[in-house]
Amino acid sequence: KSCTPRGPRLADTGGFPRGTMRCVIGLFIVLLPPSGAFAPHNVTACDGHAYPGPATARGRLLTDPNQGCEPWSRDWETTSTFISQAALEAGRQSVKLMYAAYLFEYSEKATVGIHAEAAQAKQTLIENGAVAYREVDEGEGPQGFFGPWYDDGSLTGTPQKIYVLGFAGSNDKKDWSYANAGSWCAKGIDLGRRGRMFGAAAGFVDFYVEVMDGKGGKPGLRQAIDAVADSFANTPVVVVGHSMGGALGALGATEMALRYNAAVLLRTAGAPRVFQKWGEKYGNSARDVQQGWNDDGSWSGPPGSHPEVFLWTGPDQHSSARYSDHPRDYGLRVPPNGYVRTQRWVNYNDNVPSVPPCNTGWFHVGDGGYLLLDPVGWLSLYGWAQHQDYTPYAGGLPYANHPLGKYWDRLSTAKSNCATYNRC
């Protein structure tokens, strides 16, 4: 797929800053973990493995939900209840914060409806004391910010103080050529798991580490995060990100839960896969974060000696025993400390969530994959559960709905349809 610059300013139809690439563009906001005394991340070299995917791969059936590409037409998904209005609104508010992350990197303006709200969100974050990795218009490369936010209940279902950590994703040529194109193999990264690393796409790992640890004398965000580490016991972290930023967000959410024992909500839009599910060095990292692991490196089935990080209970995380008091809230409310709940929004005609391919060794993690499916027949636009193989929903224009402005518009439409037709 060839990619060309989007233009000199935030595109009205897409909401991307200058130099944004048409294909894989990303941003995300995340709340990251404090570790007391700061120490740089331990990261290994790329292991050089990218696995092919015939009907079976490395002896595993690709339809095995823990080892390969999950089939796209599961019965429980095609009959799923429409996603609630409250969860859709939480997605909208998260997209606004994702867009604000772009505004921390570039000063260009757009006329899309989301821009004014995102600009106000950025200003509020600054007034609250948010810290950015780079100055506005400083140059190409990864960007991130971290700071407090006061939720009126639309983000988490409860009015409360939260922390937000944000990363701008692929909005310049360096982002595209290095981070996205460089994610064909896995690197190991220490995210707080005792004695073991997670295997994740190499380019995403490198950009995540730069924003968190700093580079060339420029401090990363970990210092600001560590400064408020004690507050994570009672203050949730919301991680949000679009496109490449969503991949970085998955790494950040994992570290927040493991290293900082924070209660984490991960919200992404159009995010690619990041965790490796096959690997000589790191094993099945995608399975481990969802089903737990044994500290000695063996695997005997869940729960293992360490429980899962991402709440993952199969078809319906929202009616699990942990949330019996509010089932089917679709990723709205905060989990217990040490866990991550997800809203992974995917637009019809957005192919980015289908890369890197699942049959070459990559996997989305967490329940909470929600498809904003184009109307079919009598249906209007709604949100549906859909967790792994999004390829059938790429349509004839596979990147047409990837821009962040499209997610804002379509989430707004889906929420309106819920209210109008009383189906959610």
pLDDT at 407 over 50: yes
Candidate from 99-113, 228-242, 262-276 with smallest mean pLDDT: 99-113
State how far the Cα of 215 lies from the Cα of 29, in Å rounded to an integer: 20
- Judge contact between 195 and 217, C-beta under 8 A: no
pLDDT at 110 over 80: no
The tokens for 147 are: 């700071």
- Looking at every residue in the chain, the average pLDDT score rounds to 76
Measured CA angle at 272 (ends 41, 336), to 5 deg: 65
Candidate from 30-39, 161-170, 343-352 with smallest mean pLDDT: 30-39
- Chain-centre distance of CA 384, in angstroms? 18
pLDDT score, position 58 = 36
pLDDT score, position 98 = 94
Instruction: Kindly list the distances between the CA atom of residue 230 and the CA atoms of 159, 236, 278, 339, 371, in Å, as whole numbers in the listed order.
Output: 21, 12, 36, 17, 36
Q: Which residue has the tokens 């429409």?
A: 82
Q: How confident is the model at residue 387 (pLDDT cuts 50, 70, 90)?
A: low
Could you read off the pLDDT of 24-78 as tens digits, one per residue? Answer: 333 333 333 334 445 778 888 776 554 443 333 333 344 444 444 655 555 555 5
User: What per-residue string of b and e applies to 384-407 under the rule 16 or more CB within 10 Å gives b?
Assistant: bbbbbbbeebbeeebbbbbbbbbb
pLDDT score, position 243 = 92
Candidate from 17-31, 76-90, 108-122, 195-209 with smallest mean pLDDT: 17-31
User: Per-residue pLDDT averaged across 1-17, rounded?
Assistant: 34
Could you read off the pLDDT of 239-283 as tens digits, one per residue? Answer: 999 999 999 999 999 999 999 999 999 999 999 999 987 666 777
Could you read off the pLDDT of 137-147 as tens digits, one per residue? Answer: 877 888 888 99
User: Per-residue pLDDT averaged across 71-96, rounded?
Assistant: 75
pLDDT score, position 238 = 97
- Amino acid found at 84: S
Q: How confident is the model at residue 291 (pLDDT cuts 50, 70, 90)?
A: confident
pLDDT at 376 over 70: no
DSSP helix/strand/coil, 192 = coil
pLDDT score, position 161 = 97
User: Per-residue pLDDT averaged across 217-239, rounded?
Assistant: 94
pLDDT at 150 over 90: yes
Percent of the chain with pLDDT over 90: 33
Q: What is the 8-class DSSP label of residue 133?
A: S
User: Per-residue pLDDT averaged across 277-297, rounded?
Assistant: 76
R_g of the chain computed on alpha carbons:
19
- Judge contact between 313 and 320, C-beta under 8 A: yes
State how far the Cα of 121 lies from the Cα of 115, in Å rounded to an integer: 10
Where is pLDDT greater, at 382 or 187?
A: 187
